[in-house]
Structure 1
């Protein structure tokens, strides 16, 4: 893995921190025992108590703190209704489904009054439709109660839907920590750019062309020959003429049309998804995806023109992948 769960375990106190410090509300906690950190965690492995009914698993921390049983019952039933596990409340963990066990673990964490909530892929066992419903409910629950939450997921759609800020990690290294909008519009490097976004960013090899004013790009085919050119009324500091770059283009920013400067290609695929159409286009030997609103009539093998607005363009260093230019910044 990339270190998502290990990061949660360090915050919770189950793994040692080798450098730096962990602060919660201005208080350093990495020298405290797990029980002293006031952190609630929903484990990926559920970690339920088999001899206890589901309702007693959920309310365990409240009962331990000697809260009135009537109030515990009210809170347990409220969170159980939110997560749709009311029918399972009087059953035991071994007798319910994996999805119900996972929601029981999540409910047990959410019912607590903690400084931080750590949720390790808390809905991975749920079917997509239920997952989408609970995702919206969970976001509302967390926001209205102002609950600081670290949510681990490998699903970028889930991350974008839930998070105020997202930490993108690769092999234990933090690649970028930013809002969902910034990750899509201003990715820090090629890894983030290709990971965030559905469909993913279209990528081409290119060279900077400064033979004329503005930003010029000679886009290369698989053999390294010039396939087509792009030119924009924008300046990019620090890019030498002939510099090798990765050119990224967001599918949702591209447009189908034949205005001046449009790139000619061939239709390779066509998927109508009801409210939008994904059109595959081969340009210079490389296939890219264009996302168009509504239904687009496009015949396989037919010629088609693609307009590339400046906002669609991202440039990355050919050697280390760091971001060099984002068209959305120049176009704003």
Structure 2
């Protein structure tokens, strides 16, 4: 079993008094192994940055413990936690050049100058900032400052590398290039990193595991593939994925070996009961009403499908996104070929039982994925 680098145990963060303050992080428990890249993913205000700042020591945990390599650090100042940080605000030293900023931690450890030069040159090449090493922070762009801050964090030997929106100021092409380089750099050296981002593409590309947060609560902590294919709840299911998952409220009925999911406006999805595991059928019949989800790429046009009407048709260069009026709402389909459809055109769609995600209507907890019981 891999060594645990970070353990967060029942951590709460309140801004203001515990009795009446803002509860920003709620009963957070998670463990990160050596060599992992973990992304804290969520929308603004979900608690991800507060969590990172508590790990770094810039924010105090209101309750609970934070341990790094078995050493409790939640009462220690940042300088005693042995973490390297690249925060969104850059925090470069204005009187120092970019090169001096990146090399600062190495010089503090009295590393030989030749080795410092070699490491700085490697990081500068990685981040494509070789041409600005002699300049000062005030004379370079926000994106260049961000890369310099990232370089200063990555060059350090630390138990944890904490990266807060490390590429948020970069143009998409450069960001895509650096994602691969940075992941290779971290993996090649066996570093352990935590990335805060609101960009699910970045989280999927960089992270071994993703911690999805909302309202200060950890919603799911798993691999990108598991979160996409087996979301723990309705929030995670709809938050992860682009375009987002289609969802519909449905009644559950069974008759003559058929299981029918009744939608709004008299529409229904009708399947053989055998397409669902016995435990799933029992769970659905017991609830009576559920929320049905299906990914846009799993919605297919078919001659023998349910009727829908095209509302919009967008060709994005490599795929077509079709929005259609369906069951009192809208449904989005993704097709890889360019499709000649106009608003108002009738289509019929098919949703296979193996592509269904079904959630409890009250709690949002996952009931089943692809006809099998959710874990």
TM-score, structure 1 as length reference = 0.93
Deviations 1:35-67 (A, max 9, x none): 222110101111110000000000100001100
Q: 2: distance between equivalents of 1:328 and 1:121?
A: 37
Question: Which residue, out of 132, 138, 147, partners 1:88?
Answer: 132
Contact 1:219 1:230 in 2 (8 A): no
Q: What secondary structure is seen at the aligned counterpart in 2 of 1:168? A: strand
The answer to whether the 8 A contact 1:266-1:283 is kept is yes
Query: 1:234 corresponds to which residue?
Result: 276
Contact 2:60 2:75 in 1 (8 A): no
Task: Give 1:19 deviation, angstroms.
Answer: 3.0
User: For residues 72 and 311 of structure 1, what CA distance do their matches in structure 2 show?
Assistant: 55
Residue 292 (structure 1) shift:
1.4
Aligned to 2:55: 11
Shift of 1:300: 2.6
Q: 1:328 to 1:91 in 2, by over 3 A?
A: farther
> 2:193 aligns to what?
149
User: Residues 176-187 of structure 1 correspond to what in structure 2 (within 5 A)?
Assistant: 176-187=220-231
Q: How does 1:34-53 map to 2 (within 5 A)?
A: 34-53=78-97
Shift of the 145–65 alpha-carbon distance from structure 1 to 2, 3 Å rule, reads same
The whole-number CA distance in structure 2 between the counterparts of 1:58 and 1:242 is 58
Partners of 2:151 and 2:287 in 1: CA distance: 57
In 2 relative to 1, CA 212–147 (structure 1 residues): closer, same or farther, beyond 3 Å? farther
Could you tell me how far apart the structure 1 residues matched to 2:330 and 2:102 are?
A: 51
After TM superposition, the score normalised by the length of structure 2 is 0.82
Give the whole-Å Cα distance in 2 for the aligned partners of 1:212 and 1:289. Answer: 31
In structure 2, what is the equivalent of residue 33 of structure 1? 77
Instruction: Note if 1:308 corresponds to 2:351.
Output: yes
Query: Displacement of 1:166 after TM fit?
Result: 0.5
Aligned-pair CA distance for 1:13? 1.7
Q: Partner residue of 1:73?
A: 117
Q: Is the 8 A contact 2:276 2:371 kept in 1?
A: no
| Paired residues, number | 325
Task: Report SS of the residue matched to 1:50.
Answer: coil
Unaligned ranges ≥5, structure 2: 1-44
Q: What's the Cα RMSD here?
A: 1.8
CA–CA separation in structure 2 for the residues paired with 1:326 and 1:41: 38
Task: Compute the displacement of 1:241 (Å).
Answer: 5.8
Cα shift at 1:302 = 1.4
Q: Aligned runs of 1:280-291 on 2, under 5 Å?
A: 280-291=323-334
- Structure 2 residue 99 is matched with structure 1 residue 99: no
The higher-RCO structure (CA 8 Å, 6+ apart) is 2
Q: Which residue does 1:275 correspond to in 2?
A: 318
